[in-house]
Structure formats: C-alpha cells, structure tokens
Amino acid sequence: MKPIVVLGSGLAAYSVIRELRKLDRDILLTLVTRDSGDYYSKPMLSNALAQGKDADGLVLTQAATMAEQLNFTLRSRCEVSGIDREAKRVHTSQGELPYSRLVLAPGADPIRIPLQGDAADAVLSVNDITDYARLRKAMQGEKHITIMGGGLIGCEFANDWAAAGYGVSVIDPGPYPLAGLMPEQAGKQLLAPLAATGVDWRFGTSVSRVDRAATGYQLTLADGSQLQSGLVVSAVGLRPRIVLAQAAGLEVNRGIKVDAYLRSSDPHIFALGDCAEIDGRVQPFVLPIMHAARALAKTLSGCETAVEFPAMPVVVKTPAHPVAVLPVARDALGNWQLHANSDGVKMAFLDAQRRMTGFVLTGRYAAERNAMSKLLGQPLPAGEEGPLHEAKV
C-alpha cells in the first residue's frame, strides 16, 4: 500500500496529520520536510522575546516524538526535487517516495525587495524557527533594529522588540501601519502607543541602500534621508511556494490553485496553508489553516468534505494597542462607519443593504471581536441607535 505523503512540517502539515489520525489510526502517512520537523507555533516568533523564549524554547514537541505520537514515517532534512504525477512518486534527496495521495504544505517564502549597497545581503528575514535563531544571535549586543514593513508582522516585531528595550525604526512606503488590513482612522491608532514604547515610525518612503558602517549599517532611504542601525529586518510579506507544483504541471496563480476540497488540478494532489490559493484566495492565517485541515482530513479518509470558512477575525499581537480585524476585499462595495473612538476605534464595514461584512477593533474594543462576529451579515438599523453604537467622546 502506498502512503499519503505530506510535504512540509508547519502548522498546515501537522494539522492535517493530527486531524486525519482522529479519523483513521491505521492509514499510512509519511511526512517529508527539509528541516528538522520539530513542531512549534510559528505565530509565536513575533512575540517570543517578550515571553523570554529563544528558538529552542519555542519548540513544543520534537519531530521524533510527533512521529511516534501520530504514527507516521518521518523524513527530515529531506529535499524534494520533483513530482512524477504519472508514477505517483516524489523525487527526494533520500530516494523516491511513492504516494497514494500527495499533500503540499511547503508554506511561503519572504518577499525580498531589491536593494543597493554592499550590505544588501545582510538584511534578515524571519520566516521560521531557524531564521529566528539566527536573528536572536545577531541581536546580541545591538541597540537599534530597523524593520522594513509596517504590516502585521512588522508591527508585532516592533512592539515585541521595543518593549524589550531596543530602539526600533519601522519604514514603510504606505501612509500608516497595517494599511493592507484596515482604514486609516484605525491604523493611525497604533502610532502613539507604539511610539511610547520606543518605535520610530517612517512612512511614505522605503529603504533603497544598505551599506556597512563603522558600527552596524547605514541605510539610505528613497526620500534621501539616512539612518544608522545595528540590524535590518525585512518584513514586507510572503510569497507562496509554488515552484515545485509549477514544475509538476499543476495549475498555479499567486498560489497553488485548489478547489473547496483543497484538490489541485491533479485529483491525487492537494494543497493547503500559505502555499494554497483556495477558490481564488490565499488565506495565510491560523484559523483558515485549521478549518482547511479538518476538511481535508475528512476528504482523505474517504468522506468528501468542502472547506467552509466562518468569520475569522485576525488578532494582531501588539499589546501596546491590541487590534482585531475582519478584513474586507479591496474591491468590496460599501463604507467603513465609525461607532466609537475612545481609547481605540470600533469600525464596521457596511454594504449597500447595511449588512456588516467586516470590522476593525483597536485598543479597548479589541476584546469585542466575538460579539462583533455575531452581527456579521445582519442588516443594521440606520442612525446611532444601532447595536454598534457607543456615544462618541
């Protein structure tokens, strides 16, 4: 019998195996990963410093223990070079592996912006626990860190490192933090609280050069200004890993194209997590991965199950000013409406029928995300008597 082969060892890969084992204790499983395969929570990378954890401290379970507990064959430190779809085999550095079904969960790669300067290759990215170990080593003895990118990861790192006593500069070409997730009135709420922890915000520009200096690096920005920094970290986003799938002839776009059953253009190959484009959407957050893993496990066990995504607010780990947001599509028709703006904001996105399809909660309102989720899709009355109303101050 050929096993189900899972490529990857992140949350998506382990969640599929864990959910599948709840349904079938005997089906053959093989996990293939190019790293150690140790299980850890990737979202914890951006607030590990505040929790006093280094890379080793973030490991929740060793790979060998995971293999024993979940009864799968582990192929760690194993590079995959190709997929033979006709023979149903995976070509690896440890030999050819046959499969009955193949699950692709390799994740995504950090986007690297082209830079000039003799230290352009010294810019760090943090996408896994190995990257984090390298970063923590580089941080020793430094006092200032520059973060390229003011999105979710950039803001979380900024809060974590500034709270630990580092000077932090955040450089982003956009107009305010988290501009890709929420409107300006909400995004600007982060400016003062994080500045109070030691974050230096620089919007409307970007890094163009990184050169070595007597101590650390000298950054030249697109607006002509310069900045001295001990470390430079890029946090400008992720790009789904599609090269392997593309080489195998699978349909790809931004990610590996799959349907609601997580099935690719090959009926025996599935994909989920940061690498997957599910019905036209890449959803690189924890909750979508968990829902996709549960549905895929049922399909792999013989019960065809389409994934259904409920309301899944994104929680941004910025303790200086907490944020919870249910994003709306860039082309969504409707308007953001403000309902409270005391020590934070409460905003709802209403469509033409006044149905709420998204929201933003910051500061003291961030804890209301579950209550707000219950109002999704409901027509809301006009005027300040509505269920979202709070008197403005």
Q: What is the DSSP letter of 114?
A: -
Number of Cβ within 10 Å of residue 181's Cβ equals 20
CATH code of the region 322-373: 3.30.390.120
The four Cα atoms 222, 224, 229, 234 give a dihedral, to 10 degrees, of: 0
With left for phi above 0 and alpha for psi between -120 and 50, is residue 149 left, alpha or beta? left
Instruction: Give the whole-angstrom CA distance, residue 14 versus residue 45.
Output: 18
pLDDT in tens, the chain (393 residues): 899 999 999 999 999 999 999 999 999 999 999 999 999 999 999 999 988 899 999 999 999 999 999 999 999 999 999 999 999 999 999 999 999 999 999 999 999 999 999 999 999 999 999 999 999 999 999 999 999 999 999 999 999 999 999 999 999 999 999 999 999 999 999 999 999 999 999 999 999 999 999 889 999 999 999 999 999 999 999 999 999 999 999 999 999 999 999 999 999 999 999 999 999 889 888 999 999 999 999 999 999 999 999 888 999 999 999 999 999 887 889 999 888 787 899 999 999 888 999 999 999 999 999 999 988 988 876 654 455 654 332
Q: CATH topology of 4-109+238-300 equal to that of 112-234? A: yes
Which contiguous run of DSSP H or E holds residue 184?
helix 184-187
φ, ψ dihedrals at 147, nearest 5°: -110, 125
CB 67 within 8 A of CB 74: yes
Domain ranges of the chain: 4-109+238-300, 112-234, 322-373
Which tokens belong to 354? 């006044």
- Other beta carbons within 10 angstroms of residue 70's beta carbon come to 18
Helix (H) or strand (E) holding 193: helix 191-197
Tokens encoding 287: 């909750």
SS3 for 66-116 is HHHHHCCEEECCCCEEEEECCCCEEEECCEEEECCEEEECCCEEECCCCCE
DSSP count for the chain of H helices, then E strands: 10, 27
Q: Are strands 207-212 and 217-221 parallel, antiparallel or unpaired?
A: antiparallel
Q: What is the CA radius of gyration of the chain?
A: 22
What CATH number matches the domain at 112-234, 3.40.50.960, 2.60.40.10, 3.30.70.360, 3.50.50.60? 3.50.50.60
Among 175, 200, 189, CA closest to 318:
189
Burial level of 367, CB count in 10 A (0-12/13-18/19+)?
exposed
Number of neighbouring beta carbons within 10 Å of residue 237: 16
H or E stretch covering 314: strand 314-316
Domain 4-109+238-300 has CATH 1.10.645.10: no
Contacts of 125 (CB under 8 A, 6+ apart): 110, 112, 131, 233, 234, 235
- Residue 168 β-bridge partners: 145, 199
**What is the distance between the alpha carbons of residues 150 and 173, in angstroms, rounded to a whole number?**
9
